[in-house]
Amino acid sequence: MKTWIPDARQFAYLTWKQVEALPKDETLLVLPTAAIEQHGHHLPLATDTLLNNLVLGHAFAHLAPELPIYALPPVCYGKSNEHIGFPGTLSVSAATMMAVLRDLGASLAASGFKKVVLFNSHGGNTSVVDVMCRDLRAEFGLRTFYLSGMGGAKLTGLHAQERAYGFHAGEVETALLLHGTPELVHTEQYTSNYIAQVNSPDVLLPENGPATFAWLTRDIAPSGVMGDPRPATAENGALWLQAAAEKVAAALLAMYSYTNRFQP
Ligand SMILES: [Zn+2]
């Protein structure tokens, strides 16, 4: 898999003696969680994994080289059962994913580490990762953090409809890959579907509402796309990547500097 993570930030490139020598109280480890799943007719299965790596790699450019912040190898397989039925989607269950994250947390704690960030770029993983952040804190005393794949970056030029319901393989993901891996974007294969309309007064929403319905992609998006990739440009992809990298770097710095207010 392609990587934008500098070699010096790759945890798995260290020897065990180098790991032993790391300042364990300070070192911040970033565990990417992503997916291998259908992304419409035009984007690769690895889209979320590539985007996670792209953003994290660029975020490192904003962090002082001497800070002990490392990227762990990603958990590429995610909870993607919303996309089952589309060939190529490789999903693990919530229970499996929780078990993997728990076991990795146990290993990190056994190695003496104290701080780990779950850096997630697949929406289907969000609730699992959220649960595991708290469970790793409770079970192993790890100081855990959650960080979303775009770091909450403001994406200038994105329309309200796409901002609200461009869930998957829409303008944002397409623009980022047009910038990052243009050779993997099939620009002649764009399709568009929306799960809901931003101006509709519907009581039931697919997400982010007081009353929601559980959705499967095949219910509403025959092509697998939820959003509209057609307006995507590599120029916006570059801008949004920079915006995300800055937000992610700022969040990582805050996590690195974070100290527990109530315990020494
Ligand atoms: Zn995606």
Q: What is the pLDDT of residues 7-29, one digit of tens each?
A: 999 999 999 999 999 999 999 99
Six token digits for residue 219: 């219910």
Ligand 1: distance of its center to the CA of 113 in Å? 30
**pLDDT at site 208:** 86
Residues 46 and 54: their CA atoms lie apart, in Å, by 12
Ligand 1: distance of its center to the CA of 9 in Å? 24
Ligand 1: distance of its center to the CA of 3 in Å? 17
Ligand 1: distance of its center to the CA of 250 in Å? 23
* Structure confidence at residue 261 as a pLDDT band (50, 70, 90): low
- Whether residue 2 is contained in a domain is answered as no
Ligand 1: distance of its center to the CA of 220 in Å? 16
Ligand 1: distance of its center to the CA of 264 in Å? 40
- Exposure of 27 by Cβ count < 10 A (0-12 exposed, 13-18 middle, 19+ buried)? buried
Q: What is the pLDDT of residues 135-147, one digit of tens each?
A: 999 999 999 999 9
Contact predicate 78/92, CB 8 Å: yes
- Whether residue 263 is contained in a domain is answered as no
Six token digits for residue 228: 């509209």
- Better-predicted residue by pLDDT, 170 or 201: 170
- Whether residue 183 is contained in a domain is answered as yes
- Whether residue 262 is contained in a domain is answered as no
The 8 Å CB, 24+ separation contacts for 234-238 are 234/175, 234/178, 234/179, 234/182, 235/179, 236/155, 236/157, 236/171, 236/175, 237/174, 237/175, 237/176, 237/177, 237/178, 237/179, 237/180, 238/179
- Whether residue 88 is contained in a domain is answered as yes
Q: Which of 48-52, 130-134, 163-167 has the lowest mean pLDDT?
A: 163-167
Ligand 1: distance of its center to the CA of 48 in Å? 5
The parent domain of residue 34 ranges over 8-257
Residue 42's nearest CA partner among 195, 174, 176, 219 is: 174
Ligand 1: distance of its center to the CA of 37 in Å? 8
Ligand 1: distance of its center to the CA of 46 in Å? 8
Ligand 1: distance of its center to the CA of 130 in Å? 18
Q: Could you give the number of structural domains in the chain?
A: 1
CATH number of the domain bearing residue 237? 3.40.50.10310
- Whether residue 159 is contained in a domain is answered as yes
- Whether residue 242 is contained in a domain is answered as yes
- Whether residue 186 is contained in a domain is answered as yes
* Structure confidence at residue 91 as a pLDDT band (50, 70, 90): very high
Ligand 1: distance of its center to the CA of 45 in Å? 9
- Which CA distances in Å does 247 have to 1, 47, 66, 166, 251? 25, 20, 20, 20, 6
